[in-house]
Amino acid sequence: MNLFREFLIVLLFNMATPYSWHNQDSYYCIRSFCTVALGDTRDCQKNISFLSSDPKTQQKAFTTGKTCFFDTIKSICDKPIIENISKNYDKYLETITKKPENVSDCFDPHYLFAQCRWRQSGRDAYLLLKNYKNSTKKFEAKDVANISKVCQGFKNSTYSCSPHDSSTRMVEDECDVIDLKQTPFIACLSKIRANKEALPKYKCVNFDFQTKKVSTLMQMFTTKKWCNKWIMKKHCGKSSVADFKKHAALFVKTLNSTLSYFTGYNPI
């Protein structure tokens, strides 16, 4: 991945927003506060959960952290907007913490904060995946499990208002690869590839399980997948082919990412 693409992905997760707002000034004020809350280390925000997904926790944060909130927005929002928020603060809190009846209104303040959480989890997942992919050290199972947990948080925070562009799909695909890596499906493939001599010839398949060719690997899990399933079940047991159709499709879909993650699957 080149530097420009990396910059673009981080930028998209930092700035991804819905498409309009019935009050543009209010919208940009709220969005700016979200951006600051994501990355600001100022003392007043350190122990205040402005971006909490729990309504009660978030409401408490805006109640006890009211001074901090206004100290933050006074440098990023226009004075009339600040005065309006101050005058209607209780209503403002209710709007943020209560899910609107119109679930398609992506520009409601409630969903703007949901956007913030989505951006935060997407950025966290991307940076962990990047570190994992580029690291020269071997990651322990607990580290991979942690990446998977962050990825799941990102997927769970994705909703109908989340921008779904190529960068989002890339992170989702690489999260899927991390999940796939922890399955008996991949463990079985690794076992078979590591024991070539113990693998007899089968009539239904005419390729080498240790191949590094992308086209052959794709064939193994498309036109020859049912033969492959039988072989994997025979050598690794039923657990290796649980959800076989799903895992085979995911393996093919994310093959390029899979190749870059798994030693021995690098194409030549």
For 212-261, how does the pLDDT look when each residue is reduced to its tens digit (9 = 90+)? 778 888 888 888 888 889 888 988 899 999 999 999 988 888 776 666 65
Q: What is the pLDDT of residue 70?
A: 92
Location of structure tokens 């990651």: 139
Closest CA to 26 of 73, 90, 94: 73
Cα 239 → chain centroid:
27
Per-residue pLDDT at 110: 81
Which amino acid does the sequence have at 170? Answer: M
Phi, psi for 2 (deg, rounded to 5): -80, 165
Please say if the pLDDT value at position 99 is more than 50.
Answer: yes
Average pLDDT over residues 165-176: 81
Range picked from 69-73, 108-112, 215-219, 257-261 for highest mean pLDDT: 69-73
pLDDT digits (tens, 9 = 90+) for 8-62: 444 445 444 433 334 556 778 888 888 888 776 566 777 788 888 888 999 999 9
Q: Does pLDDT of 264 surpass 70?
A: no
Q: What is the mean pLDDT of residues 132-144?
A: 78
Predicted confidence band of residue 192 (pLDDT cuts 50, 70, 90): confident
Average pLDDT, the chain: 77
Q: What is the pLDDT of residue 238?
A: 92
Q: What is the CA radius of gyration of the chain?
A: 24
Q: Global pTM?
A: 0.66
